[in-house]
Amino acid sequence: MKSAKTSKAWMKEHVNDFFVKQARKEGYRSRAAYKLKEIAERDQLFKPGMTVIDLGAAPGGWSQVAIEKIGKNGKVFALDILEMPSLRGVTFIQGDFSEEAILREFKTCLGNCSIDLVISDMSPNIAGIGVSDHARSSYLAELALVFSREQLNPGGNFLVKFFQGSNFDQYLKDMRASFKKVVVRKPKASRDRSSELYLLGLEKIC
C-alpha cells in the first residue's frame, strides 16, 4: 500500500512539474533536456559543427538539445540500453555500455571521428538501496570517464551525472587529473531532493 501511495504522489508531482509541461510544449522528449540546456548556456558547451557523444541517451532529450546546438554540420552519436526513437542527425546504438562487445561496436561506429564533447546522463535502475544504487551509478560514471579519456580530443569537454555519496570525492579527484578545470553544477531542472549533481570537465589534458 505504501508503494502505491508513493507512486501516486510521484505521478501527481510529475504531471504538475514545470519542466515536464515545458518539455511537452517545446517538443522535448524529457524534462532532462532543460538540465543540459542550462549547463550548456552557462558554460558554452556547444559550437556549430561539433561531434558529440551522448551516453545514456534514451529517450533522447539530451540528443535533441545537442543536435539543435551543433547544427546540420555537426554529429551526435548516442547509446543507451533502452530503445530510442530515431532523431535526424543522431546515430544511435542500443546496448549496455558496460558490456565490452557493445563498447567495441560503438567505437567502430565512431570510426575516425574527432570527438569534441561527451555528455553522460547514465543512471542504473534504482532499487531504493542507497549504498547499492550509489555503487552502480558510480561504476557507470567511471566507465564514462575512461571512455572520455580515450576518445575525446585534447581540449575536449566531458559532462557527467554523479550522485553524491562515498565515492564522490575520489571521482572528482580522478576527473581533475584529466581536465584543466572541473566544475560542479546543479541545474534548476534537477529536483532539490535528488542527490544528483553534474560534473563538468573542461579542456581534456593531453
Provide CATH code, domain 32-204: 3.40.50.150
- Please check if 10 is assigned to a binding site: no
Is the CA virtual torsion 56, 117, 92, 114 positive or negative?
A: negative
Annotated catalytic residue, options 161, 180, 186, 204: 161
Chain-centre distance of CA 168, in angstroms? 17
What pLDDT sits at residue 130? 55
Domain-wise residue ranges, the chain: 32-204
- Residues 132-162 as b/e (b if ≥16 CB within 10 A, e otherwise) read ebbebbbebbbbbbebbbebbeeebbbbbbb
Say if residue 43 carries a ligand binding annotation: no
Q: Give the three-class secondary structure for 2.
A: helix
Judged by phi (left if over 0) then psi (alpha if -120 to 50, else beta), residue 202 lies in beta
Predicted pLDDT at 192 = 80
Would you say 55 and 147 are in contact if contact means Cβ atoms under 8 Å apart?
Answer: yes
Rounded Cα gap, residues 82 and 57, in angstroms: 9
Q: What is the mean pLDDT of the chain?
A: 90
**Residue 124 in this model has a pLDDT that exceeds 80:** no
CB-CB neighbours of 183 under 10 Å: 14
pLDDT tens string 62-74: 999 999 999 999 9
Looking at the predicted structure, is the pLDDT value of residue 49 above 80? Answer: yes
* β-strand partners of 181: 202
96 is in an annotated binding site: yes
Q: Of 84-93, 125-134, 163-172, give the lowest mean pLDDT range.
A: 125-134
Q: What is the rounded CA–CA span in Å between residue 173 and residue 171?
A: 5
164 confidence band (pLDDT: 50, 70, 90):
confident
Query: Residue 128's pLDDT is what?
Result: 53
Residues 22 and 31 sit within 8 Å (Cβ to Cβ): yes
Which of 204, 187, 195, 146 lies closest to 62, judged by CA? 187
Flag whether 192 is marked binding: no
SS3 149: helix
Length of the chain in terms of residues written: 206
Helix (H, G, I), strand (E, B) or coil at 71: coil
pLDDT at position 10, please? 37
- 47 noted as active-site residue: no
With a threshold of 0.75, does the pTM exceed it? yes
pLDDT on residue 14: 52
- Residue 131: the pLDDT is 62
- Residue 52: per-residue pLDDT: 98
Helix (H) or strand (E) holding 15: helix 2-16
